[in-house]
């Protein structure tokens, strides 16, 4: 087939070449005829011109002029004849080349014809060979087909025999298939019913498991509360210092970025566990109670109100707030007018309890306020707040400490409390630092004395409630303290370090406890030496940048929690009032009455206070 296609292609090319050759020959013949005609006409015109030239030589000037024109024309015609001869020569050359091309084409045609004949012969031979192969393949295929047909007939006979044998089995299978088909049609309904039944059973089992889990969870929480209650009772009997922690919320003053992320988490099942992520490592602490940032002032107060009410029964109670600056100690202890803290709520609770027992008991509640600023004890309610006060032993031989000259106000209502708090707050030393806009630069103490007389038996009780807001511990480089602020920070850190030494000595049961190393520890000696019910509120910051201070505060809280002071003693006696008063801070006989003399100018680092507040407090004395 390829050779046939090639031969057809050669024939088409041959026809095209012949057609081109005929066209070229016709064009050259036509041009040759035109050239011969032109030559003939030029030859026919040449003799008259020569003759005119020869005859004009004897004529006149006009004739000469005509002769010159004729000569020019003759010259032009000769040039044209030369040109025509040149064209003729070129056409003859083209004709010659055309003849050569024709000869070449004829040679090619002859070659193509011979090749075509040869290809035709080969094709005939191959066709004959293919025909022989085809006939031979047909014969072989026919023979094989006969053999296979014979085998198929034999197999068909066997299949017919088998088919006759399988017809009963096929009927049985068809019947079974129809039965299975009917069962399959009803299978979704059976499956749905089975699934419903299984789901109901599983749901019932899940409910039973959930019920069991809830019951176990309730039992676990009840046991946890019981264990905690027993532990607290054991701690109370041992006289341990109770420690609660409160975490303030993250505020806008903490800034943004990685340093302001929350690093404190809480245990969902145990409200006495707090977790701190410090330098990528989790650290856990167990205290008596942990309050999250969502806890309210009332939640915190409910934890301490049992201690506060025991002061009505004649016990000495001390509650102090500890933590770094800006952790929220003052907010927890003092609060705001709209949301008061432990101090004001404690006095309100005392008034409520006193009113409930008014039919059987007569109570007198007095309040004093002091601060320790740069290791100097000052009276926040006195006429001269810059006056230095000293701590002395009570001269009645009881071994109790008191502060001579400390102003004491009797309060009879909530309004009196607000006036005292406002007056004391204006005198407390606060300053701006890098860590806190209103940083407390002193340790503040609110001393509440409750004296009671049982109208029926004459039993007299004296209880003291010491509420202490410690100044915040801080790093000097971090708080940006300079000058007087630097001296304040050094005194604050020194007093807090002395408090840590006292706690360490009490924890290790050393024979000597260094209470006198600081005015703060000396003033808290009665609260930390076993004759008082003491609770510490440790305030911590949750942000990442304060984790070092938070870690130190929580470690200190754990050490404080392990200190055993012994059970607090109730101070109640029968007898005269004057012989049985045992004031922790000051004997009743030496209690100074507030006077209305003019205030001296406030000293360095203190906040000025208006004289109108002092005049409001005069009737309370």
**327 assigned binding-site residue:** yes
**323 assigned binding-site residue:** yes
**330 assigned binding-site residue:** yes
Please, are residues 316 and 571 in contact by the beta-carbon 8 Å criterion? yes
Own/partner pairs for 415-421, CB < 8 Å, 24+ apart?
416/620, 417/344, 417/347, 417/348, 417/367, 418/337, 418/344, 419/613, 419/616, 419/617, 419/620, 420/367, 420/369, 420/381, 420/617, 420/620, 421/334, 421/343, 421/344
Question: 273-278 and 242-247: which strand pairing?
Answer: unpaired
**328 assigned binding-site residue:** yes
Please, are residues 384 and 599 in contact by the beta-carbon 8 Å criterion? yes
Please, are residues 461 and 314 in contact by the beta-carbon 8 Å criterion? yes
Ordered DSSP codes for 414-483: HHHHHHHHHHHHHHS-EE--SS-TTEE-SEEEEEEEEEEEETTT-EEEEEEEEEEEPPPB--HHHHT--T
The CB density around residue 94, as the number of other CB atoms within 10 Å, is 16
Helix (H/G/I), strand (E/B), else coil: 235: helix
Tokens of 193: 């019913």
**405 assigned binding-site residue:** no
Rounded CA-CA distance 146/166 in Å is 29
**325 assigned binding-site residue:** yes
Rounded CA-CA distance 233/368 in Å is 31
Radius of gyration of the chain (CA): 63
Helix or strand holding residue 285 (H, E): strand 281-286
Tokens of 506: 């009490």
Rounded CA-CA distance 353/597 in Å is 35
Rounded CA-CA distance 82/97 in Å is 22
C-alpha angle 524-527-532 in degrees, rounded to nearest 5: 170
Rounded CA-CA distance 551/354 in Å is 41
**298 assigned binding-site residue:** no
Helix or strand holding residue 216 (H, E): helix 61-238
Please, are residues 528 and 502 in contact by the beta-carbon 8 Å criterion? yes
Beta carbons within 8 Å of 28's beta carbon, 6+ residues apart = 91, 94, 95, 98
**219 assigned binding-site residue:** no
Q: Residue with structure tokens 């009780």?
A: 461
Looking at residue 516, the DSSP 8-state letter turns out to be G
Tokens of 594: 């507030």
The CB density around residue 514, as the number of other CB atoms within 10 Å, is 14
Annotated binding site for ATP: 323-330
Binding site, by residue number, is 323-330
């Amino acid at each position: 087939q390829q050779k046939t296609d090639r031969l057809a292609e050669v024939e088409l090319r041959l026809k095209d070449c012949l057609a081109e050759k005929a066209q070229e020959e016709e064009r050259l013949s036509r041009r040759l005829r035109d050239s011969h005609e032109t030559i003939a006409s030029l030859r026919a015109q040449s003799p008259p011109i020569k003759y005119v030239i020869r005859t004009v030589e004897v004529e006149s000037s006009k004739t000469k002029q005509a002769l010159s024109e004729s000569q020019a024309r003759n010259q032009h015609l000769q040039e044209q004849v030369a040109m025509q001869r040149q064209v003729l020569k070129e056409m003859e050359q083209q004709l010659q080349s055309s003849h050569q091309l024709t000869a070449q084409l004829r040679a090619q045609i002859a070659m193509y014809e011979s090749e075509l004949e040869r290809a035709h012969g080969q094709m005939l031979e191959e066709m004959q060979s293919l025909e022989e192969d085809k006939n031979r393949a047909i014969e072989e295929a026919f023979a094989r087909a006969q053999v296979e047909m014979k085998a198929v007939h034999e197999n068909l006979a066997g299949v017919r025999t088998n088919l006759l044998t399988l017809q009963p089995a096929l009927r049985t299978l068809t019947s079974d298939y129809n039965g299975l088909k009917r069962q399959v049609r009803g299978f979704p309904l059976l499956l749905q019913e089975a699934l419903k039944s299984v789901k109901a059973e599983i749901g019932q089992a899940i409910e039973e498991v959930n019920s069991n889990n809830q019951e176990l969870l309730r039992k676990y929480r009840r046991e946890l509360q019981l264990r905690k209650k027993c532990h607290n009772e054991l701690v109370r009997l041992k006289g341990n210092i109770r420690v609660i922690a409160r975490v303030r919320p993250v505020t806008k003053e903490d800034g943004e970025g990685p340093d302001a992320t929350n690093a404190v988490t809480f245990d969902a099942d145990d409200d006495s566990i707090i977790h701190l992520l410090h330098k990528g490592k989790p650290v856990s602490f167990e205290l008596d109670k942990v309050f999250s940032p969502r806890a309210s002032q009332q939640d915190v107060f409910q934890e301490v109100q049992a201690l506060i009410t025991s002061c009505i029964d004649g016990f000495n109670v001390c509650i102090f707030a500890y933590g770094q600056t800006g952790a929220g100690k003052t907010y927890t202890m003092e609060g705001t007018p709209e949301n008061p803290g432990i101090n004001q709520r404690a006095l309100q609770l005392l008034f409520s309890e006193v009113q409930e027992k008014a039919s059987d008991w007569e109570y007198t509640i007095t309040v004093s306020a002091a601060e320790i600023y740069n290791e100097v004890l000052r009276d926040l309610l006195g006429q001269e707040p810059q006056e230095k006060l000293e701590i002395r032993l009570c001269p009645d031989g009881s071994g109790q400490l008191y502060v001579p000259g400390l102003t004491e106000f009797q309060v009879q209502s909530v309004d009196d409390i607000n006036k005292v708090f406002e007056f004391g707050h204006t005198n407390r030393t606060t300053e701006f630092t890098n860590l806190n806009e209103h940083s407390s630069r002193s340790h503040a103490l609110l001393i509440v004395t409750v004296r009671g007389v049982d109208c029926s038996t004459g039993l007299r009780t004296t209880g003291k409630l010491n509420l202490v807001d410690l100044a915040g511990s801080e790093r000097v480089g971090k708080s940006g303290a300079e000058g007087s602020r630097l001296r304040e920070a050094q005194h604050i850190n020194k007093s807090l370090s002395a408090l840590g030494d006292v706690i360490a000595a009490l924890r290790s049961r050393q024979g000597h406890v260094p209470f006198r190393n600081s005015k703060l520890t000396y003033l808290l000696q009665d609260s930390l030496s076993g004759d008082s019910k003491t609770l510490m509120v440790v305030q911590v910051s949750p942000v990442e940048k304060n984790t070092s201070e938070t870690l130190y505060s929580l470690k200190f809280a754990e050490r404080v929690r392990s200190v055993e002071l012994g059970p607090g003693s109730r101070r109640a006696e029968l007898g005269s009032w004057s012989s049985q008063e045992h004031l922790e801070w000051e004997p009743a006989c030496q209690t100074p009455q507030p006077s209305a003399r003019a205030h001296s100018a406030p000293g360095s680092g203190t906040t000025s206070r208006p004289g109108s507040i002092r005049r409001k407090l005069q009737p309370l004395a």
